[in-house]
Structure 1
Amino acid sequence: MKVAAYIRVSTQMQVEEGYSLSAQKEKLKAFAFSQNWEIVQFYVDEGISAKDMNRPELQRMMKGVKEKLFDIVLVYKLDRLTRSVSDLDKILKTLNEHDVKFKSATELYETTTATGRLFIRLVASMAQWERENLGERVRMGMEEKARSGKWVINISPFGYDKEGDKLLINEVESAIVKEIYDLYLTGKYGVGKIASILNDRKIRTTSGSEWGYNNVHYILKNPLYIGTMRHNYRVNKDNYFEIENVIPQIIKEEEFDQVQKILDKRSTNHPRSATSPFIFSGVLRCSRCGSHMAGKYNITKRGDKKYTSLNYYCGNQKFKRCDQPLIAQNYLEHQFLQMIRSWDDIQKSSEVATSIENDNDNSDRINSIKKELSAIGKRKIKWQYGWAEGMLNDIEFKQRKEEEEEKEKVLLAELETLDKSKENINHDEYIDILSDIRLNWNHLDAYQKKISVQILFKSITVNKAKKITKPESVEIVNFELN
């Protein structure tokens, strides 16, 4: 009988308990010899869990089953092969289809009878329960550790060194983190360009590899750098949470918030518009059809010289669905500054006040959500009382509890959003910021102007009102603040 021996070890603990690769190999050799069988191939998966079938050597062995390279699959113990009932069924079905037998060196299984198949499934069920239960305990332990502000991941993030379960600032790497934020805040460099700059300077990531888009984006998006640790960010997202002020801070909160606004803005715009010299790209709207307006270069010749001008055109113009003429950026810029100048007089800035007040008038909805949350709390107590008194069984209590918790989660998320919107810049602060922008406008480059516009304005609606070559030909019809 030709035998394929499958061996797997996943942890150091299993090595210490006698499940090491060499120990399994020797015992399988001895068992095969006692049965007068010949082991023709060892399939060894090292450091891999049995939670699924995504194991290179297991897959290679199953291919050998289909090619009839052997008559028996031999394992030291069933849980070395799988800890999943569904995977066990797939493996046994494939073995049966190709007339290959299964044998454990330490357990007695008979897969040719209904009773034998039931018994092996029961053993696999226990192995699966043990794996899932252990995983649940480990997750709970890690979550509890994270909630107490301890770092639970073995690898330290770029900018920090790990000492025990704490993170300490790495002075060299933290300086690079600050530079990444500084470069991005200039508006001149996108995420990919910053990665290229770091690679050109031979700076490497924590793992020693070159920088890519994801590495830089991770640093710009991660609240870790303002002292907030997040847990379950990539996996088990239903249990995601954040713990503030538990990590040494590298980046100031206002800088981090500004970066998030730019990232959000750029994610909705064409990538090239983010670093183009068109100041109003991404926010400009056509007053005639409501479409976005995009930047366009115009080149004119005067004698031997070429002159380039920056203009905006309506997206519907090329489909002949709008008759909005080109709008020159220098005229629009002049009118934009005139508009801001008029807001220096608080009496003239009622438009700004109205816009801010409308954005922040969420009190009715907030009160409504708080009432519903209170009602959910009362119902949860009611269901718990009913369960304790035997009026609800376990399944009914669990279903109702989960329904209420799901509603509660949605309402709390909305309430948090509404509360944050109430904390937006108030009317007077907007006026001060816009006034500062106007006073410093001529000292800003095109990229800095663009960032200022995109952070403060959600949209600016314009119209070419007159056929004259003067700034007065352009009018700002409407605007919407962020």
Structure 2
Amino acid sequence: MEDKKRVGIWIRVSTDMQVKDDSPEHHERRARYYVESRDWQVEEVYRLEAVSGKTVMNHPEAQRMLQDLRSGRITGLVFSKLARLARSTKELLEFAEIFRREGADLVSLAEQIDTSTPAGRLFFTIVAAMAEWEREEISSRVAASVPIRAKMGKPLGGQASFGYKWHDKNIVIDEKEAPVRKLMYEIFLDCQRKKTTAERLNDLGHRTRNGSRFSDTTVDRLLRDTTAKGQRLANHTKSVGEGKQWITKPQQEWVIVPCAAIISVELWEKCNAILEEQLSKRARKGRISEYLLAGYVKCTCGTSMYVFSTAKKFTCKNCKNNVKVADMDEIYQQVLKGYLNDIEPKMYVEELEKAIAEKEYLLTTSTKKRAQLRKKMDDLVPLRVSGDLDKEHFAAIYQPIVAQVHQLDKSIPELQAQIDFERIQLNSTDHVLKEAKGLYESWTKMLFPEKRAIIETITEYITVGQDTIDVGILHLSPSSKLTSQHQFMGSWKLPT
């Protein structure tokens, strides 16, 4: 049985949550009911008591949540509304980017955002665009000054390379580290192994600047660094993407600043020639699938079918059943066409909206009923205090009202969670259905990666029999599936 998705519930308590109807307990119950509706599992509840909405990122509870996220303990976070996660747009973008980078989901019940759904994933797309725009704005202002500072030999941020240090804004040799840096080149030239070089340095008692043991990765980076031969490179890299991956800039943008050398140019070039030779021997291109339906086509005997030869056929190695790749692609395209033509977005959406409207009406009446009962409770208390109601009479009237309020306290967030679930599913389904109507017309114009991504999203199975091919496509609604059978009667024949 597939493991359930593990999620956390985020409850941030502030001064505007003192009213009972907006209590932390109410928000937690609502979130729990939503999680149950999705058949997920609540792994942890994060409570930020009396915390300002201006900044929460560095709060211990927020850090605990992020640690659980990065370790894989949770793969999603449910909260009542975006303002409860963070009121600062900048901090909200930070949270969203972290979750997107970790492949996890955010669920905001009030805004009907669930990034595990197609419509909800648009939220991540928009957030990423906003964050990228903000980064570009900052980057464009900084970029102009970088080459000028680099040519002047000024520090551009970050530490000096191992063996060097910054002194009065100039890079100079670090007398303690430089001998170790030089020894690294000498050891590598002798053994020609990065891992062996690291081990020898560690065995001799040497450590990196932060006290860690040397690794083959550190050795590789330092061996390639030109600073050791007296040529410090500046403005030659930049960070891109969500993961802050460092890439090399075009060579014409590099700035080479002379500095004191630790080793000779000859020693540096010998070591780097060895590194390049080793790299060229290891470089191998991975095999890229050239077939759209690879990995999905199976024989009726249960064996996966592969394209083994230049004949361009999916073949079962057990029973030798086969089908041409071109025929299989054509069949899939026709099934997709028939499936998409059967979709009636308006009818489906109207049906869901009607069901949601009924629940929303019930929620409204239940909320009003609870308010009336609370007022009645408040009116009874002065009568008891003044003596107009004796103890027994007061209890007979008051206790049933209290019991009913407690029942409503339980049923209202549960009903609200049902509406949250159905509203989010409706938004997601509506988006997908509308997009799907134009999918077939665009199919022939799509690139291979785009088609493959769609196939991976909607295809449940493809089973090849002796004279039939069954294609199972996941229905675009949350709860059902559609199976289309194609009886092939073309110009080819399966072998007997």
**Same fold flag (TM > 0.5):** no
Identify which of structures 1 and 2 has the higher relative contact order when contacts are C-alpha pairs closer than 8 Å and 6+ apart: 2
Q: Which category describes the TM-score, using the shorter chain as reference length?
A: 0.3 to 0.5
